[in-house]
Amino acid sequence: MTSIEKPNNLLVDLHVKYIQSLDTKKDDLEYWFTEHLRLSGVYWGLTALDLLKNVNTLNREDVVKYVVSCQHDNGGFSGHIGHDPHLTHTLYAVQILVIEDALDSVNTEKIVEYVKSRQDPQTGAFTGDEWEEIDTRFSYCAISCLSLLKRLDAIDVKKAIEFIMLCKNFDGGFGNTPGAESHAGQIFCCVGALAIVNSLHLIDADLLSWWLCERQLKNGGLNGRPEKLEDICYSWWVLSALSILGRLHWINKEKLIEFILAAQDPESGGFADRPGDMVDIFHTLFGIAGLSLLGYPDLKSVDPVYCLPKYVVQRIGLAEKYHI
Is residue 298 a contact point for other proteins (CB under 8 A)? no
Is residue 136 a contact point for other proteins (CB under 8 A)? no
Reported as type and span, the H/E element at residue 164 is helix 157-166
Best CA proximity match to 125, nearest among 64, 45, 77, 190 = 190
Count of residues touching other proteins (by CB under 8 A): 77
The number of beta carbons lying within 10 Å of the beta carbon of residue 41 is 22
Cβ 261 to other proteins shortest distance, Å:
15
Give the pairing type, strands 279-280 and 271-272: antiparallel
Using CB under 8 A, pick the residue from 12, 68, 103, 166 that binds other proteins: 166
Site for other proteins in 273-292 (CB under 8 A): 273, 276-280
Is residue 272 a contact point for other proteins (CB under 8 A)? yes
The contact mask relative to other proteins for 186-225 (x = CB under 8 A, - = no) is -----------xxxxxxxxxxx-xxx-xx-x-x------x
Of 17 and 321, the one with the shorter C-beta distance to other proteins is: 321
What CA–CA distance (Å, rounded) separates 37 from 149? 23
Site for other proteins in 28-57 (CB under 8 A): 28-29, 32-33, 35-36
Site for other proteins in 220-239 (CB under 8 A): 225-229, 231
Cβ 104 to other proteins shortest distance, Å:
28
Is residue 267 a contact point for other proteins (CB under 8 A)? yes
User: Does residue 323 come out as left (phi exceeding 0), alpha (psi in the -120 to 50 range) or beta?
Assistant: left
Give me the torsion for CA of 233, 239, 245, 248, rounded to 10°. Answer: 170
Is residue 86 a contact point for other proteins (CB under 8 A)? yes
> In the Cβ-directed half-sphere of 5, how many Cα atoms lie within 13 Å?
10
Of 100 and 265, the one with the shorter C-beta distance to other proteins is: 265
What CA–CA distance (Å, rounded) separates 49 from 10? 13
